[in-house]
A and B are shown apart, each in its own frame.
Chain A
């Protein structure tokens, strides 16, 4: 193990509001395009994992990145969403794709 995983020293707390980076890098990316730029709340910390964006190119995956389940309100992600306001979407997102957000709507 080399460098410490992204977020290992200062992970987002469960319940924290986070924004998914609005970024479009090429390569093997596990953050779905539809969720980039959106604000959600951390539902669970799933621990540090080797970075799949690196492993895909036969690199070591180190440093790894803390993986979270981030919860989004469907009616915020899709403004014309048809369903109750209590409907949610959980997406697995790595720490290096997230930044602190003021408050989730």
Chain B
């Protein structure tokens, strides 16, 4: 599969699988199964997705308990309510609490809820994360700068088969009265994978100060 592509320098000669992909794509275009324009549109759509979609779902869940219940019950219906296309896979949303933290990995390949989070980061596809996330997950979290307290149980989800997973991070303190749009800015991609908590509102303030 595409396991090694992310390690492959862009100007190196194509690998075996890259050659096979190019050959197959060219044959299918020569046979008018699809056009170069179809390929371009599909790639743009794929790259256009981002974790912002997952963040919108989380922000809505934080302000609307009934929506949160529906999202946890069936994420595809929850997404559809917000006009988000459900995608081909069932997505299970795992809620973090004061006593339970969830973290997602796919040890076999790099299964990822692309419809809600966009393309997976390179480290998510790398063998280091994929093996260590199940073997020593707390050490991995520490390397992300996230010291999970020992009185919080850590639950790692290995996405091995037909489900995809997204974490529902805890709403940070000090965000009472915030709008959904403001709250969504606190929800990072990493918090949706579970290798970080949602941003601290003060950190967000500092970031926008620095940017401004």
Measured CB to CB, the residues of A under 8 A from B are 30-32, 34-35, 46, 49, 52, 67, 69, 71, 74, 78, 81-84, 86-94
Minimum CB–CB distance from A28 to chain B (whole Å) comes to 10
A86 proximity list for chain B (CB < 8 A): 153
Q: State how many angstroms separate the Cβ of A39 from the closest Cβ of chain B.
A: 16
- Kindly provide the distance from the CB of B153 to the nearest chain A CB, expressed in whole angstroms: 4
For the complex, what is the distance from the CA of A81 to the CA of B151, rounded to whole Å? 16
Contact across chains for B160 and A30 when beta carbons are under 8 A apart: yes
Residue in A34, A67, A81, A83 whose CB lies within 8 Å of B161 = A67
Q: Does the CB pair B155–A87 fall under 8 Å?
A: yes
Extra A-B contacts (4), CB below 8 Å, given A30-B108, A87-B137, A87-B153: A67-B161, A69-B157, A74-B137, A83-B150
- The SS class assigned to the B binding surface is mixed
CB-based contact A92/B137 at 8 Å: no
Instruction: Say whether A82 contacts B139, CB under 8 Å.
Output: yes
Please tell me if the beta carbons of B136 and A82 are within 8 angstroms of each other in the complex. yes
Known: A82-B139, A87-B155, A90-B157. A32 touches B150 (CB 8 A): no
Which residues of B from 120 to 157 have beta carbons under 8 Å from A?
A: 134-139, 150-151, 153-157
**B contact residues around A90 at 8 Å (CB):** 155-158
With A and B bound together, what is the CA distance between A49 and B90 in angstroms? 12
Report B79-109 CB contacts with A as 1/0, cut-off 8 Å. Answer: 0000000000010000000000000000110
Residues of B within 8 Å of A35, CB to CB, are: 158
Q: How far is the CA of A94 from the CA of B161 in the complex (A)?
A: 9
